[in-house]
Amino acid sequence: MINETPRVRFAPSPTGYLHIGGLRTALYNYLFARNTNGKFILRIEDTDRKRYIEGAVENLLNTLKWVGLDYDEGPEVGGDYGPYYQSKRLDIYKKYAEELIEKGKAYYAFDTPERLKQLHEEQLKKNEQTKYDKFALTLPEEVIKQKIESGEPYVVRLNVPPDKSVIVDDLIRGKVEFDTNIVDDQILIKSDGFPTYHLANVVDDHLMKITHVIRGEEWLSSTPKHVLLYDFFGWEKPIFAHLPLLLNPDKTKLSKRQGDVAVEDYKDKGYLKEALINFVALLGWNAGDEQEFFTLDELIHKFTLERVHKAGAVFNLEKLVWLNAEHLRSKPNAELLQMLREELKKSKYADLKIEDNKLLLIIEAMKPRVEFVKEFITKCPYFYEAPTEYDEKVIKKRWKEDSPGLLLKLRDKIAQLDDLKKEDYENILNNLAEELNIGKGKLIHPVRLAVSGSGTGPGIYNLLYIIGKDECINRINRALEKIKTTNPDLTEEN
């Protein structure tokens, strides 16, 4: 191994929001580093200036901070191997490109876009593999020198030797063999002076002492070029581990066309960071048992690259929703209270003055029934305002001819007592049912409808207690009036 301490890196390009696939790459690198007491490095690969998006780096840093993946070296943190922005390392790449040229392992190429297009078209017509034809290698030294001195645009290409076999020893996929006859003479330095990913990432991984390169499967086909570069420089290669593709449910590659792929999208929709991390960890890895619910600490403890799968991982949104609910329920109510306060600020109830005690009661009552924090509001608006409508299906099924009279009796019993606790509502309802020799359902269903407008929700005694005595009485009165009006066939019993 290059270094006794494992060193891994996440090296995104600032070309947009952080993709779920990018988050998985970052997470697996992070988990590996933490599990092995290694170092996790963040490097910004911003050499593709055409695709660079303003603000993307800030978004990336904020997203990593939000999900809790703290890095040991990188932007804003520093370290011994910076700068951690590739755009600030151009002189380094130029130096190493020149070294390759001197060794005959790379060369200047001056081809015009027109020539390259024509070459491409001719190869397609002949049903040949499309790749560069090494034409620039036929140019005499003096011509090359003259072209450079006159300022003619050029690129630097990798000089891939023909008829060789390059073996990539991958920790996840085993030995993968490549024939150099189908490996293109990759551009290493573009005409704008910026390096391509291939040169910059090899140079930086070497200089930053990266021991394990953990990245997506889409980079596997480029790895023989990287192996050649390590060999040409005489450098020790890192251990490669290529992660399986992320797939849609129909087994196509995960893409924007079939739904959200940016971490930001899931954050905005109310998914918890703990659930997202848990879910993404399972996209291509398992602990070797039936466990699916993990905290970040548990993932760190159990993660190994040996348990990463080769096969593509299907993105199952239903599992993410389930995990979100499980992580939400595992949170202390005090933490959920702060999160609910934030949701209330964004809701139509922002101006309501609600005491913490009441919100904590709502959280306790609704916790088994919600999957997102916002559902502490959207699934139970009756805790924040009186219903203005009543579920017609519930009226038809549950509102009987004797319901108004029974509700009046229940209302009067509630009115007789002060400082009611949850148990008091239970006792009142039980005693009245016994007194009238009726099933409790004959009281529970109409009173639930009256105070919430709905036929479902938390336990009835929780519901009445959280809404409170005076408000319960007001809502019963209002329901009796409104449902009587809506359903004139139903008559009140006094």
* Residues acting as catalytic residues: 256
SS3 per residue for 452-488: HCCCCCCCHHHHHHHHCHHHHHHHHHHHHHHHHHHCC
Phi, psi (deg, nearest 5) at residue 389: -135, 160
Task: Give the CA angle between residues 386, 387, 392 to the nearest 5°.
Answer: 160
Q: Kindly write down the DSSP assignment for every residue of 114-129, as one continuous string.
A: HHHHHHHHHHHHTT--
Distance from C-alpha of 428 to C-alpha of 438, rounded to nearest angstrom: 14
Beta-strand (E) ranges in 90-200? 106-109, 155-158, 165-170, 174-179, 187-189
Distance from C-alpha of 261 to C-alpha of 344, rounded to nearest angstrom: 27
Distance from C-alpha of 61 to C-alpha of 56, rounded to nearest angstrom: 9
Question: Cis omega before residue 83 (within 30°)?
Answer: yes
Q: Specify the residue for token string 């599990």.
A: 35
Q: Specify the residue for token string 């990287």.
A: 226
3-class secondary structure, 174: strand
Residue 233 identity: F
Is residue 116 a contact partner of residue 74, using CB atoms and an 8 Å limit?
no
